[in-house]
Amino acid sequence: MSLTNPSVVRALLARHKIRLRKRWGQNFLIDAHVLEKIVSFAQINSDDTVLEIGAGIGTLTQKLAERAARVIAVEIDARLIPLLREHLRAHSHTEILCQDFLEFDLKSLPSQTKVVGNLPYYITAPILEKLIEAHKHLHSALVMVQLEVAEKLSALVGTRDASAITVFAQAFADVEYLTKVSKHCFFPKPEVDSALVRLGFLRQPRFQAPEDLFFKVVRASFNLRRKTLLQALSQSPWLALPRDSVRAALEKAAIDPQRRGETLSLEEFDRLAQQIDAVVRTKL
Ligand code: SAM
């Protein structure tokens, strides 16, 4: 049965009396060429463990299972589980979990797990943050995201196109924008185009500051984008620091307090987070 054939998918869903839910981002891939691209970009070897986010009816899961040693497929919609089981019957090394991915414990995975997912777009940001936070356990993440998100992830840090997620992704991973994917490659057709992006997680992040503080400083710098760094950081509930302490940290990091967060390079974010760490320590 070809799951990339829209007539087959339509008939299958009708037979199981399933109406797809927009709010769960249920747009299934129906382009065999794109499917092959995903599998090839994910660089799966026969000894790999692969985690798939949002398995749907198993279109991509089948392809992953043909290559990997073990596949863990997470899908929130209980109605799709019988279809998934049926489509993965020949692949006993596939575990199908009916679960919200945001609740999934990534630390339970073997190290160097490869993540693959045609993501449900309504929770793209929390999924990416969860993956980045679990970087130590993961080898890479090959994700289909909305085109704008792909552009944001691969934007140059220090330019207006960047945001907090750009800095987080590039601090922990090599980010590759791979290819645009037209909305016509999905059933039902979504309103937006998509793109494939690969995050290859680094053994060591590209900064020295304590991780939690680096996250807080980046988040605070972009949270009030129109304000100067001095204003944005001293008004941040995540840092909870007096204005004078923020000014001192900025000066020690040799960063003009009047600059905006979006102009900082990754190296400057690191310097700033290290100086803020020093301020926080002297207050303890
Ligand atoms: N992998 C399939 C494909 O490529 O055709 C389906 C991809 S579809 C864009 C996203 C899938 O994620 C849907 O099957 C949806 O039910 C599932 N999903 C939505 N929210 C989820 C969540 N919080 N946790 C796990 N799966 C979720």
Q: Residue 206 domain-assigned?
A: no
- What mean pLDDT comes out for the span 46-53? 98
Distances (CA, A) of 226 to 205, 232, 271: 28, 9, 22
Token representation of residue 86: 């049926």
Cα–ligand 1 centroid distance for 27 (angstroms): 8
Assess whether 121 and 157 both reside in one domain.
yes
Domain final position from 180, 201, 222: 201
* Helices and strands: H and E segment counts in the chain: 11, 9
Assess whether 43 and 89 both reside in one domain.
yes
pLDDT at 282: 85
- What mean pLDDT comes out for the span 8-31? 96
Assess whether 33 and 162 both reside in one domain.
yes
Assess whether 194 and 215 both reside in one domain.
no
- Choice from 8, 18, 23, 24 to test ligand 1 binding pocket (greatest atom count within 8 A of CB): 24
Task: Give the count of beta carbons closer than 10 Å to the beta carbon of residue 123.
Answer: 18
Q: Bigger pLDDT: 167 or 226? A: 167
Assess whether 75 and 183 both reside in one domain.
yes
Assess whether 114 and 191 both reside in one domain.
yes
Domain final position from 201, 232, 266: 201
- Segments forming the whole domain that contains residue 218: 211-283
Assess whether 218 and 168 both reside in one domain.
no
pLDDT tens figures, 69-118? 999 999 999 999 999 999 999 999 999 999 999 999 999 999 999 999 99
Beta sheet of 173-181, edge-to-edge order:
94-98, 70-75, 49-53, 113-118, 138-146, 194-201, 173-181
Domains in the chain, number? 2
Cα–ligand 1 centroid distance for 76 (angstroms): 7
Assess whether 90 and 51 both reside in one domain.
yes
Residues with CB under 6 A from ligand 1: 24-29, 54-56, 59-60, 74-77, 100-102, 118, 120, 123
- Choice from 101, 119, 183 to test ligand 1 binding pocket (greatest atom count within 8 A of CB): 101
pTM of the predicted model as reported, rounded to 2 decimal places? 0.95
H or E element, residue 115: strand 113-118
Instruction: Calculate the average pLDDT of the chain.
Output: 96
**∠ Cα 138 153 256 (to 5°):** 110
Assess whether 253 and 215 both reside in one domain.
yes
Assess whether 143 and 182 both reside in one domain.
yes
Q: What is the CATH number of the domain that holds 104?
A: 3.40.50.150
pLDDT tens figures, 248-279? 999 999 999 999 999 999 999 999 999 999 98
CB 75 within 8 A of CB 20: no
pLDDT band at 284 (very low <50, low <70, confident <90, very high): low
Q: What is the CATH number of the domain that holds 275?
A: 1.10.8.100
pLDDT of 1 above 80: no
Cα–ligand 1 centroid distance for 244 (angstroms): 47
Q: Whose CA is closest to atom 19 on ligand 1?
A: 24
Assess whether 176 and 226 both reside in one domain.
no
pLDDT tens figures, 215-247? 999 999 999 888 999 999 999 999 999 999 999
Domain final position from 168, 201, 234: 201
- What mean pLDDT comes out for the span 161-171? 97
Assess whether 58 and 108 both reside in one domain.
yes
Alpha helices per DSSP H over 70-208: 81-87, 124-133, 147-153, 164-172
